[in-house]
Amino acid sequence: MTRRVIQLLTGLVLYGIGCGLTVEAGLGVDPWTVLAQGLSIHTGLGIGWVTNILGFLVLLLWIPLRQKPGVGTIANILLVGTSMQVLLWVMPPVEGVLVQVATLLAGIVLVAVASGLYIGARFGPGPRDGLMTGLHARLGWPIWACRASVEISVLVIGWLLGGTVGIGTLLFAFLIGPLVHVALPLLDTRRTPVAAEATS
């Protein structure tokens, strides 16, 4: 249990830092962060704080979908945006295309590893992931269709509000799935030591 809690908290903090790195790169971010950026521009709130607020609002959508949050769901709302905001406060501006690309890729890889950590801890899905599974359960749509419809919607809204859409958005979309696919089996707490040794 102690390992799972540490893994959950570490994963969520690193997830926020990874998202913050993609923001600092300035080349485009994932759909939900595009929305957070757009809302941040119009509200004056930091992107990280908007991310936390969005997580809470998405959680409210779980009620009609009859989804039940776990400890990990609540921790996700509290920690991801907060760690993102702290990184954006302390990190100096990124200058130069090569540094921007390196920062972007580092952020994407960190988000993937962090996803493996917090999902592998098995304390419940994040609010956005729970929204996808809830829509799937209630509407009967395939998971990919639920995810695509939600993420395209928030991407368009965020872009119209002024969020950054660019090559980073495309790279995130293409890379995050395969990278999480690699990270999750390595960090899943249900794996036994014997199984881990057998695959190493």
Q: What is the pLDDT of residue 198?
A: 31
Identify the band that residue 191 occupies on the pLDDT scale cut at 50, 70 and 90.
low
Total domain count for the chain?
1
Pair of tokens at residue 17 = 């830092």
Q: How much is the mean pLDDT over the chain?
A: 88
Contacts of 186 by beta carbon, 8 Å cutoff, 6+ apart: 116
Instruction: Find the mean pLDDT for residues 185-193.
Output: 70
Instruction: Find the mean pLDDT for residues 22-35.
Output: 94
Identify the band that residue 163 occupies on the pLDDT scale cut at 50, 70 and 90.
very high
- Proportion of the chain above pLDDT 70, given as a percent: 95
Cβ neighbours around 47 below 10 Å, total: 23
Instruction: Find the mean pLDDT for residues 15-29.
Output: 95
**Structure confidence by residue, pLDDT tens digits, 41-89:** 999 999 999 999 999 999 988 887 777 888 889 999 999 999 999 999 9
pTM for the whole structure: 0.86
Q: What is the pLDDT of residue 80?
A: 95
pLDDT at 190 over 80: no
pLDDT at 200 over 60: no
**C-beta of residue 50 within 8 angstroms of C-beta of residue 88:** no
Residue 26: name the closest of 79, 81, 104 by CA: 104
Identify the band that residue 197 occupies on the pLDDT scale cut at 50, 70 and 90.
very low
Q: Which domain holds residue 52?
A: 2-199
In whole angstroms, give the CA distance from residue 135 to residue 153: 14
Widest CA span in the chain: 52
